[in-house]
Structure 1
Amino acid sequence: MGHHFSLRRFNQILLALLLFFGILYLGQSFIVPIAIGGLFAMLLVPVCRKLEKWRVPRTGAAVLCVLTVVVVLALVIVVLVDQITALANDLPRLDLRLAALLDDIRHFINDTFEVSREEQNAYLQRSIRSSLQLVGIYLRSLFFFAGSILVSFIIVMSYTLLFLLYRRRLKNFIMRVTANYDANAHAIVGKITDVASSYIAGVFLVVLILSIINTAGLAIIGIEHALLFGLMAGILNIIPYIGSLTGSLIPVLFALLTKDSLWTPLVVAIFFLVVQQIESYILTPNITGGKIKLNPMATLMVLLLGSAIWGIAGMIVFVPYLGIAKVVFDNINRLKPLGYVLGKDGDGEG
């Protein structure tokens, strides 16, 4: 009987997971804006509370917070577009450099491995064609993403505003639903909202600090368009591991193309390695707090899962929500093992 029951239970859990992720996948266009709106609302809750303490009415505080975010994001987008346009004007010059660089590499391969120019050309054209197809696919999805982002942005901000306005009602709803299961639901819900909002605020603060450090560093090293690369590397840091790697590879490649010596790209690579260490060991632990410590395995798995279900949006949104889920797991006795498996060493050991 016990064996039969455990199998039934396993099947139930499996079915629940299948339904959960199936709904996420199928309801993407509806759920993604809500998920991102939720993150923004968590980010703004502490600010809203502050404003309300200063006697600002709840609606006024919520509108003010959302407007601030819209203005900040609009400014970032304007700066990025401006920088990307400047980079686009530089492309013809880069093209010449790339041709010269490829020529040098060809000579080197020819002399070292005695592979004829024709064979090299054939191989190069094959690989360039496949990488261009990849780039094309990425660009297309990026443009599609940008187009839908504008519409989604308005929807997301509307959700953020509504979440801020109705946050007490939502909290009470969760408490009423969970009160039957757990006596200290009140404490858990309070803790989750606090941890989630400080975590999300922390992630954004880290992005801001990294953008400033990256831009300053690249400008000192003497890389053109330092602001663009600095901002990009900072913003991409929202996506753990993969984002920071991409963000640092782009300026290194750019330095390879634009600078004559190999020292500059090397310095850029070392600079990003150092910044990465500062971010992992100093910034993130102190800012997003030791409150949510997800281990690399859990983070990477949820990144890939997010990417499979929602694409780029999933890669950004799934990690913070896993962090929030971990807080829930850590505070409910029956789910503590799950929290432990997601955590880092020394976390939840006591």
Structure 2
Amino acid sequence: MEQRSSLQRFNQVLLGFLLFFGLLYLGSSFLVPIAIGGLFAMLLVPVCQRLERWKLSRSVAALICVFAVVIILIGLISVLITQIFALANDLPELGKMLTAKLDQARTFATDKFDLSREKQNEYVRNQLEGATQMAGSYIRSFLLSTSSFLLNFVVVITYTLLFLIYRRRLRNFILKLVRDREGSYAQNIVNKITGVASSYISGVFLVVVILAAVNTAGLMIIGIEHALFFGLLAGLLNIIPYIGSIAGSLIPVIFALLTKEALWYPIGVAIFFLVVQQIESYILTPNITGSKIKLSAMATLMVLLLGGMIWGVAGMILFVPYLGILKVVFDNIEKLQPYGYILGNEEEKENPKPIIAKPASEG
């Protein structure tokens, strides 16, 4: 009887997971803008609260915050588009450099591996056909997504504004759900979670801004053209853990390899990004966000891949910070602390006590 009950609980948990992730997958077009708006709202909560302390109404403060974000995003997008057009103007020259590099590689292959030019040309042609087809599919999907970008942008901004205006109502809704069972302890839990989540999201964006500035300055010093574009791109891609940092550093290394005759340029770019990544991993992130939330590499990688499967690139960006917020919830509720422990990377000797615990008399 006990084994049957355990099997039933396992089946219920498994069914719950399937339903939850199935709803996330099927409702992605509805849920992704809400998730992005929620992150922006958590980022802007401290600024909105400061404006409210200056005797501004909540609606006015929220409007000012959202308007500032829109201006910043428009400026960032404008800079990126300008840099992309500048890079596009250099494509003919890059094509000539690429041809020269390929000729050098073919000569090396002929001398060292005794491969005829015909076999090399056939191999390159096959690879180019596959790359062209892949690029065509990406371009088509990009054009389709661009057509709905403005609509999604308006929706996200609207959600951000509404979350800021109605954040007290949303908090009271959660309190009403648990008030009969938890009493006044729920208030402390919600305050702790919202405060830590807001500071965590703010820290993530601060790290991105710092990395974008450092990357741009470093590439300019090394002498890489379009340093602003590559620096901003690497900083923004750093939002995606592991994969983003690798892609953000690999692109300028390849660009330096194609555009510079001296080999020390790509090597210098690679060393520079390696140093920056070590500084980000051991200094910036631990001091800015790691003091609040510590996610293990195992949990981060698993949720990164899961987010990519369910929501694509948006999931890879969104699932990690929301997992961090979920860990805050687990860490501050006694019964859920084991789940917070398995998600974190705290030392095993550390056994933090929950800040909220029911009195023993309440059972």
Is the structural similarity TM-score above 0.5?
Answer: yes
Match for 1:179: what amino acid? R
Structure 1: which 4+ aligned runs deviate by more than 4 Å? none
1:245 corresponds in structure 2 to 246
1:212 corresponds in structure 2 to 213
Contact 1:293 1:347 (8 Å CA) reproduced:
no
Deviations 1:207-263 (A, max 9, x none): 100000000000000000000000000011111111111111110011011100111
Contact 1:237 1:244 (8 Å CA) reproduced:
yes
Give the C-alpha shift of residue 98 in structure 1: 0.3
2:360 corresponds in structure 1 to none
Give the C-alpha shift of residue 345 in structure 1: 3.6
Residues 111/258 of structure 1: CA separation in 2 closer, same or farther (3 Å cut): same
1:103 corresponds in structure 2 to 103
2:162 corresponds in structure 1 to 162
User: When the two structures are superposed, what TM-score results if normalisation uses the length of structure 2?
Assistant: 0.94
Contact 1:43 1:200 (8 Å CA) reproduced:
yes
1:91 corresponds in structure 2 to 91
Match for 1:288: what amino acid? T
Deviations 1:272-319 (A, max 9, x none): 000000111111111114211111111111111111111111111111
- Give 5+ residue unaligned stretches, structure 1: none
Q: Quote the Cα distance in structure 1 between the aligned partners of 2:324 and 2:255.
A: 35
**Percent identity between the two aligned chains:** 64
Superposed CA RMSD: 1.3
Give the C-alpha shift of residue 114 in structure 1: 0.9
Please identify, of 225-234 and 297-306, the stretch whose mean Cα deviation from structure 2 is larger.
Answer: 297-306
1:18 corresponds in structure 2 to 18
Deviations 1:130-153 (A, max 9, x none): 233333333333333333222111
Match for 2:325: what amino acid? I
Match for 2:56: what amino acid? V
Match for 2:77: what amino acid? I
Q: Quote the Cα distance in structure 1 between the aligned partners of 2:334 and 2:57.
A: 39
Match for 1:41: what amino acid? A
Q: Quote the Cα distance in structure 1 between the aligned partners of 2:307 and 2:321.
A: 11
Contact 1:340 1:347 (8 Å CA) reproduced:
no
User: When the two structures are superposed, what TM-score results if normalisation uses the length of structure 1?
Assistant: 0.97
Residues 246/142 of structure 1: CA separation in 2 closer, same or farther (3 Å cut): farther
Q: Quote the Cα distance in structure 1 between the aligned partners of 2:216 and 2:291.
A: 27
- Give 5+ residue unaligned stretches, structure 2: 352-363
1:270 corresponds in structure 2 to 271
Query: Is 2:190 the counterpart of 1:189?
Result: yes
Q: Quote the Cα distance in structure 2 between the aligned partners of 1:46 and 1:304.
A: 31
Match for 2:173: what amino acid? F
Match for 1:148: what amino acid? S
Aligned length: 350
